[in-house]
Amino acid sequence: MSRPGNYGKSSRLKQLRQLKRRKQQQAGNVIDWDQVTDFLLGRYHLVQGSKLPPVVDATVQRFFSEWLTTAVAQGEQQAQWDVAAITATTLKRIGNQVPWQFYGLLLGQIMRWQKLLLREGPVVPLATPRQIVKPLTATAYAALVADQLAVNLLTVMATPITAEQRERLTQSFFRDGQVQWSAVDALFSPLGFQITGTPDDATREWLNGLLALTVGDFHH
């Protein structure tokens, strides 16, 4: 029977070896920076995407892909991902490449998406973990979408965008903390939406699925 002192020493050595082995295993699981987007999109699909209708899943997945493009472009050294800033930049880049229905579907899923981001983002196996900061409330997301829709409309109308026009239009789209989809539809629908370029079949099917949605699909 070993003496208590020796047993304690042996136990501590065993713990140190286990800790070292665990760190080595963790180090071996670290992914490269250029794998971040695929990793998080994969997590999204496993946790949420596979449970959603195809047009909804494609909408959130494409938004998330664009969002990650914005985030990753900041560089590996930028350890903090500012949700508010990255989302605003991403929506601005998407702009009128999609019909207004895209924003309606996205807004219906945005809080579930953010919950996933807040949970999955910090545990991406990177050498320097990401910190997800400045998440938004549902009302803040609605305000952001209303503002982007105002910019989109003024852009497609080829109207010089002044701060006053933008604010007035945003206010007509955003009331009582929610986007007024009837007002959005009334102004966007007469202008129509043309699928430009030569999108692949999946993209064309997705865009046509969005265009088939009506205001009634966004009244909850």
For residue 71 the two structure tokens come to 């985030």
pLDDT score of 71 more than 50: yes
Q: Count Cβ atoms within 10 A of the Cβ of residue 82 and give its class: 0-12 exposed, 13-18 middle, 19 or more buried.
A: middle
Confidence of residue 14 (pLDDT cuts 50, 70, 90): low
Q: How many other C-beta atoms are found inside a 10 Å radius of the C-beta of residue 175?
A: 12
Q: Characterize the bridge pairing of strands 178-179 and 174-175.
A: antiparallel
Contacts (Cβ under 8 Å, ≥6 apart) of 126: 30, 31, 33, 36, 76
Residue 84 contacts residue 103 (beta carbons within 8 Å):
no
Instruction: Look at residue 185 and tell me whether its pLDDT is greater than 90.
Output: yes
Kindly indicate the confidence band of residue 50, based on its pLDDT and cuts at 50, 70 and 90.
confident
Q: Phi and psi at residue 196, in whole multiples of 5°?
A: -100, 165
Residue 1, pLDDT > 60, answer no
Which tokens go with 216? 């009634």
Apex 153 CA angle, 102 and 172, nearest 5: 90
Do the beta carbons of residue 148 and residue 93 sit within 8 Å? Answer: no
Mean pLDDT of 179-195: 94
- What would the two tokens of residue 102 be? 């895209």
For residue 213, the model assigns a pLDDT of 96
**pLDDT at position 13:** 57
Tell me, what's the pLDDT at 17? Answer: 57
Does 20 score more than 70 pLDDT?
no
Q: What average pLDDT does range 51-59 have in this prediction? A: 93
Mean pLDDT of all residues in 21-28:
47
Strand partners, 174: 179
pLDDT over 90 at 44, yes or no: yes
Contact between 180 and 103 (Cβ < 8 Å): no
Q: Can you tell me the distance from the alpha carbon of 91 to that of 198, in angstroms, rounded to the nearest whole number?
A: 22
